[in-house]
Amino acid sequence: MKYTHRHPSSGIDSSHPSGEHDLVCFSHLGWDFVFQRPQHLLTRAARTRRVFYIEEPRHDVAKACVETRHDASGVVVCTPHVPPASGMHEVQALINFFLSAHGATRFVAWYYTPMAMRYSAHLTPAATVYDCMDELSAFAGAPPGLRDAERALLKRADVVFTGGHSLYLAKRDLHPNVHEFPSGVDVQHFGAARQPRPDPDDQAAIPSPRVGFFGVLDERLDRDLVAGAAAAAPGWHFILIGPVVKIDPRSLPTAANIHYLGAKSYAALPDYIANWDVAMLPFARNEATRYISPTKTPEYLAAGRPVVSTSIADVVHPYGDQRLARIADTPEAFVEAIRAALCEPTGEWIGRADAALAGMSWDATWSRMAGHVRDALLRRARTAQPHPTRSILSSQI
């Protein structure tokens, strides 16, 4: 078995001075893909404990190996590589090898994907957390068996978090210990966009007014809405930032006033947003968006940009209710909402936005989550109840 360090000189530290349990996260999202909920939370977790982020296995090598890299935040990222025809037992062996090499014997298992149960159900964590940030079964290309895997994970979990109110309503009756944690926001980071900032080179030549979006461009994007709005307002320019995933790039609408700038780093986003006039959430209304709670909503507001969104439930409530987001679902209504946003003085709503964002920091979110994890560890220690056996779990996946 091969063990590869991206930065071998960093070495392996088998403990954290805080004495906190290690956190071992299983995620369907690549650590370097888009900086979102897992990265916000786990970089904060890494301040007081060791955090290991295990990506989904890649079937791309002739001989099984583990690649590790040390993120600047302190998070250790693990990518298992196995041959194309490998079964889950080979992935299990790699996970065992990785955890043993790091001396990770006292840890909390933290799940973003139930499918990781296929290669982690044999582990015996001190507690198990399911941070349900999306209804993955509703997404395009959802793997078969996902719902069964989630049922198994819910049976094992000590505490469940949801990424928004709609998801909370969907999961609250499936587990006795479910807590709602909508998207937080780094106000300081995005607040920098309220001051003049240099326009990035690839955006500088785009005329104003500018209506912008950043995020993953996938089946959740209402392409017809974007096309219709751009056609109805040829003098406005629509800017979309983010990677194209799970859809054919050729299916994206094209026009002289639609601009795709590709993926950008989290650090660069304020430079782009600072030079927009309106921020948009042009989400389709389909199964993939039924439970989403876009992190972008509070980020746009922190950046001081008016928001126009389609009627996504977790945007309508609370942001639409608080008159912090205009809601429109047709190209014509979307254009009218943007027009109203362009005309409204920032002073009319910015105070309400700041009041709504108070207490929504990722620091506060992580602190509250960590409290629930500590409670779960105490309950587990008091009862000394082992997790359900591997045979019970595997029979349900």
The CA distance from 375 to 35, in Å, is 28
Nearest Cα neighbor of 304 from 197, 208, 195 is 195
29-67 confidence digits (pLDDT tens): 999 999 999 999 999 999 999 999 999 999 999 999 999
292 and 177 share one domain: no
What single-letter amino acid sits at 249?
P
51-54 and 22-26 beta bridge pairing: parallel
Query: Domain with 255 in it: what CATH number?
Result: 3.40.50.2000
| Claim to verify: residue 168 and residue 287 sit in the same structural domain | no
- Identify the CA nearest to 60 among candidates 85, 78, 77: 85
Alpha-carbon gap, residue 46 to 74, rounded angstroms: 6
Mark whether 302 and 203 lie in a shared domain.
yes
Phi, psi of 185 (to 5 degrees): -155, 140
Predicted confidence band of residue 19 (pLDDT cuts 50, 70, 90): confident
* 55 shares its domain with 202: no
Written as six digits, the tokens of 198 are: 């240099």
Q: What is the largest CA-CA distance in the chain?
A: 66
* Separation CA 218–CA 136 (nearest Å): 13
320-343: string of b/e by CB count within 10 Å (b at 16+)? beeebbbbbbebebbbbbbbebee
- Report the mean per-residue pLDDT for the chain: 92
Q: How do strand 76-82 and strand 51-54 relate by DSSP bridges?
A: parallel
Domain match, 7 and 79 both: yes
List, for residues 69-118, the tens digit of each pLDDT value: 999 999 999 999 999 988 899 999 999 999 999 999 999 999 999 999 99
Q: How many domains, the chain?
A: 2
Residue 392 in this model has a pLDDT that exceeds 50: no
Q: Sorting pLDDT into bands at 50, 70 and 90, what band is 138?
A: confident
Model pTM?
A: 0.90
| 24/144 same-domain check | yes
Residue 157 and residue 216 share a domain: no
Cα 2 to Cα 136: distance, rounded to the nearest angstrom? 32
**218 shares a domain with 104:** no
Per mean pLDDT, which range of 12-21, 133-142, 149-158 is the poorest?
12-21
Domain residues for 337? 187-357
Is it the case that residue 287 has pLDDT exceeding 50? Answer: yes
Q: Are 102 and 219 contained in the same domain?
A: no
Q: Is cis: bond before 318, omega within 30 of 0? A: yes
Residue type present at position 203: Q
